[in-house]
Structure 1
């Protein structure tokens, strides 16, 4: 446990003070305790209204300068507005809060927040009879002296900060201020934007995935988006420019994803790790909201697991999952507390119509990050025995219920880091094998557990330029047992290379009428309208070999 805390703390930047607090508020299973989550996410304080907001700025070189206010009166949002990228200054947003039932006649409640150089009452943003109060960094606050205003939808109940000119708000009931706070930050520091919630917290929508009436269900796997705080920096873009414009990583990645969402209209999106581009995302929340907003807007349910880069910035996995769990249309969960990792869970896709029977089970497991024993097993971590035991027990426990489905029930799985068996050069595969397989050197036996429990397909990410599906068969009988696929790297913030790799996304088109799974990929550039490497990998519920091309 001590090693795990030290390893996590070593990844943090000096400015991410709040993360240190989070780390030391983890339980014995390295999960964020509820109180720690609440300290980071003030939106979870039910029944509180904001009575005032201000911003403090302090100097890093002046020992007598402080960004702290009286903690008895003020709650500090633990996000440095300079993201620790300024050598000279730090700045923080502070809020005063009070329980609604404790408001008295002299109390004021914040009912409006905006940012700008001009008084909103005279600058066209507000009514001329409104009295907006000026705060530092161009922040303006409108407060009502009537405590009854706290009962209205206008009362501000939570404050947060997002970063970057491309920042978006993904939570219901929240409104992002498009104008950034007026700070003396340099061009290399992502702009800070206030976002507020007015009224009570809205419970996120969590739809139950269901096979369509025609018996079809489509899964879109988004592998290795590598989103940053701000627009990010492109790595190995192909081509370098589109329509003469320089590549901006996140904008190009999200445009690609948006195009495919609208073209393919998936029923479920699986985010298979490295959604966040490590230390290029000092505010992981801003990066997460960018992909989430696209899915929420289209009412597409999604699940996510973590890769080795997601928590290399300022926010560890437990805190990231706590955020993701509270987003609309997210079906992601942290999973059992008593096994390794964050994000070991499954979801059921129900049969068409009003059936209550599962037609498809999707397993998701945390494949962790780097090896805990570099001396003996250098490289990447592996799925642990207690995770495999959990998977076996869960699968066995579901079999009786799954047999109630009148058609053929199927199981699929997603991880981030490939299994050691992905290295088997003697196995047939469809797609491109461009780079070395960076699977763990220790084989914990998860492939065999998948076969034992009848899972027909597992798909990963991690190796961006590998995008093949490999058939894993029984060594003695040669019977096909499992398809092992790569999603293909989609994000321009991660590496490409290897002979001009065009970003791509993998789909799984599932036909429950025939118990058939067809997989294919779509490209970001070149033949963008067609499917490439389309193949049937499961038919009649059985793993089938690839067809030989003439």
Structure 2
């Protein structure tokens, strides 16, 4: 009897140990997953300064290792420096920070930060302090900080050799952290306090013109990315870096075409290859900021497949210079249902153009009945109609003919009708939703002249419903795919972008495309689609 009790006690003790060991392993493994929690970014509170920085590493094979430090002293930036590629190891950046008014005489403030194996202070009177991952800190006490705008007040982590940080006051360090990983984790630092980002006001130029550049399906990655089916073909496609080539194309179009505004119509980020979506977002934002051109974003089905959901991505977009992006009403389905009013020339306060941008979501919520992609929901259609009707009175106050355009990512069901007249490339079957929620009819009823989408990379046509008895009512266009990180193929498909060149003097809209390769200087399929504020058959 005594032996049985002892044996049972031993078994219970072993069971408890196994449970504890399993929980410890599980907790460690959870840290190794790519960060998806909402507090992934450092909180940029006014008045905070950085007092110390370190990197912690942990291993799933060691139950006593942890990537967590005392949260009362350290703030962890929720980005695994290995980007989830280290199955048995992970690393995180931690910072200590204090409010300036809480600093003690003995506290040190970080005034510079560098990466490398060698002491940057060697041979000088400056004392640099070593930290893990090749970080060197230069710190000083509060009384010797000098210019407060030179003090480091925040840190972030970005990835890849092409990492950029377009936020005012931020700079990406040239040298990555010294870690055994291919992620090339780089520190981005901000000096001084945050700068308020002003929202630009798009306006018709003095000559009465306004040009919109529509860019779709960039499919940017975290890092350089790999090209898919580049044109011209390459013997070794691994030598083709997708993101640099894509962004070079966009840069060239901005330089040559000088658009007044850019609409990014979805799949800016390739979720499968962007474990840190912020890095991908910053790369395209930097180019538009460089040219000081306002830009607006709607989401595609891949934008939230990385570590950020739509709301988190929109929050980032709203904090960037020249961004017009908005989340839209919280009681309407989707993120990114919003309106941009392009004001008349000079000091006019009246809208000349209204752009409606709507979220077409991702995949069908009812695969059994409606296989494929999602559709605009009834409350989105109602929001669009009520918004349009609410704005009509103010639009009539414009001295010329007011016009409406709309942008979405996934095409409408009406795009797939082969009996309609179209001009441009129809290379792949349109992947429009099988369920028709009636948005096309709503667009016509509210006098929207053009709707343009992305999603199907190798389709770039503009379509008009055939009805010889009636005045045509709506142009339905594709942008064509611009990014090398997304599929191309289809026998030599060349990446492209679409332009809408609008002349408010005659209420006329011309549209055309520009190619990345081949006949790069020409306007492809140029045609007039609106004249006198009315849809016209192509000419």
TM-score, normalised to structure 1, is 0.90
Are the counterparts in 2 of residues 220 and 505 from structure 1 also a CA contact under 8 Å? yes
Rounded to whole Å, the distance in 2 between the matches of 1:308 and 1:147 is 52
1:9 maps to which residue?
A: none
Provide Cα deviations, 1:394-420, integer angstroms capped at 9, x if missing partner. Answer: 111111111110100001010000000
Rounded to whole Å, the distance in 1 between the matches of 2:526 and 2:32 is 45
Rounded to whole Å, the distance in 1 between the matches of 2:99 and 2:210 is 46
- Of 107, 131, 135 in structure 2, the residue corresponding to residue 135 of structure 1 is 131
The structure-2 alpha-carbon separation of the partners of 1:256 and 1:243, relative to structure 1 and needing over 3 Å to count, comes to farther
| Residues 47-56 or 475-484, more deviating | 475-484
Q: CA deviation at 1:113?
A: 1.2
2:170 maps to which residue?
A: 174
Rounded to whole Å, the distance in 2 between the matches of 1:181 and 1:165 is 12
Are the counterparts in 1 of residues 337 and 357 from structure 2 also a CA contact under 8 Å? yes
1:61 maps to which residue?
A: 61
2:191 maps to which residue?
A: 198
1:488 maps to which residue?
A: 480
- Of 37, 48, 61 in structure 2, the residue corresponding to residue 21 of structure 1 is 37
Structure 1 gap ranges (5+): 1-12, 23-38
Q: CA deviation at 1:426?
A: 1.0
Specify the SS of the correspondent of 1:271. Answer: strand
Q: CA deviation at 1:20?
A: 4.6
Root-mean-square deviation over aligned CA pairs: 1.9
Specify the SS of the correspondent of 1:153. Answer: helix
- Of 206, 213, 216 in structure 2, the residue corresponding to residue 213 of structure 1 is 206
Rounded to whole Å, the distance in 1 between the matches of 2:76 and 2:101 is 23
Specify the SS of the correspondent of 1:292. Answer: helix
Rounded to whole Å, the distance in 2 between the matches of 1:149 and 1:453 is 60
Specify the SS of the correspondent of 1:118. Answer: coil
Provide Cα deviations, 1:92-129, integer angstroms capped at 9, x if missing partner. Answer: 00011111111111111111111111112228xxxx22
Rounded to whole Å, the distance in 1 between the matches of 2:35 and 2:297 is 22
Provide Cα deviations, 1:252-283, integer angstroms capped at 9, x if missing partner. Answer: 11111111110001110000000001120000
Specify the SS of the correspondent of 1:354. Answer: coil
Specify the SS of the correspondent of 1:309. Answer: coil
Are the counterparts in 1 of residues 511 and 529 from structure 2 also a CA contact under 8 Å? yes
2:21 maps to which residue?
A: none
- Of 519, 526, 544 in structure 1, the residue corresponding to residue 536 of structure 2 is 544
1:414 maps to which residue?
A: 407
Q: CA deviation at 1:45?
A: 2.0
Equivalent residue runs for 1:225-264 within 5 Å: 225-241=218-234, 246-264=239-257
1:146 maps to which residue?
A: 142
Rounded to whole Å, the distance in 1 between the matches of 2:439 and 2:33 is 37
Aligned: 1:497 with 2:489: yes
Rounded to whole Å, the distance in 1 between the matches of 2:160 and 2:183 is 5
The structure-2 alpha-carbon separation of the partners of 1:327 and 1:184, relative to structure 1 and needing over 3 Å to count, comes to same
Equivalent residue runs for 1:353-392 within 5 Å: 353-392=346-385
1:301 maps to which residue?
A: 294
Rounded to whole Å, the distance in 2 between the matches of 1:111 and 1:206 is 31
2:116 maps to which residue?
A: 116
Specify the SS of the correspondent of 2:149. Answer: coil
Rounded to whole Å, the distance in 2 between the matches of 1:489 and 1:407 is 34
1:31 maps to which residue?
A: none
Rounded to whole Å, the distance in 2 between the matches of 1:242 and 1:271 is 32
Provide Cα deviations, 1:55-87, integer angstroms capped at 9, x if missing partner. Answer: 011112222211110111000000000000112
Larger-gyration structure (1/2): 2
The structure-2 alpha-carbon separation of the partners of 1:245 and 1:266, relative to structure 1 and needing over 3 Å to count, comes to farther
Provide Cα deviations, 1:375-407, integer angstroms capped at 9, x if missing partner. Answer: 111100001111111111111111111111010
Q: CA deviation at 1:150?
A: 8.5
Q: CA deviation at 1:476?
A: 8.8
Equivalent residue runs for 1:268-283 within 5 Å: 268-283=261-276
Q: CA deviation at 1:502?
A: 0.7
Specify the SS of the correspondent of 2:473. Answer: strand
Structure 2 gap ranges (5+): 1-28
Provide Cα deviations, 1:272-331, integer angstroms capped at 9, x if missing partner. Answer: 000001120000011111111011011011000110011111111111111111001101
Rounded to whole Å, the distance in 2 between the matches of 1:383 and 1:16 is 37
Are the counterparts in 2 of residues 14 and 84 from structure 1 also a CA contact under 8 Å? no
Specify the SS of the correspondent of 2:475. Answer: strand
The structure-2 alpha-carbon separation of the partners of 1:302 and 1:66, relative to structure 1 and needing over 3 Å to count, comes to same
Specify the SS of the correspondent of 1:41. Answer: coil
Rounded to whole Å, the distance in 1 between the matches of 2:172 and 2:142 is 25
The structure-2 alpha-carbon separation of the partners of 1:208 and 1:148, relative to structure 1 and needing over 3 Å to count, comes to farther
Specify the SS of the correspondent of 2:385. Answer: helix
The structure-2 alpha-carbon separation of the partners of 1:296 and 1:242, relative to structure 1 and needing over 3 Å to count, comes to farther
- Of 325, 329, 340 in structure 1, the residue corresponding to residue 333 of structure 2 is 340
> What is the count of residue pairs matched by the alignment?
511
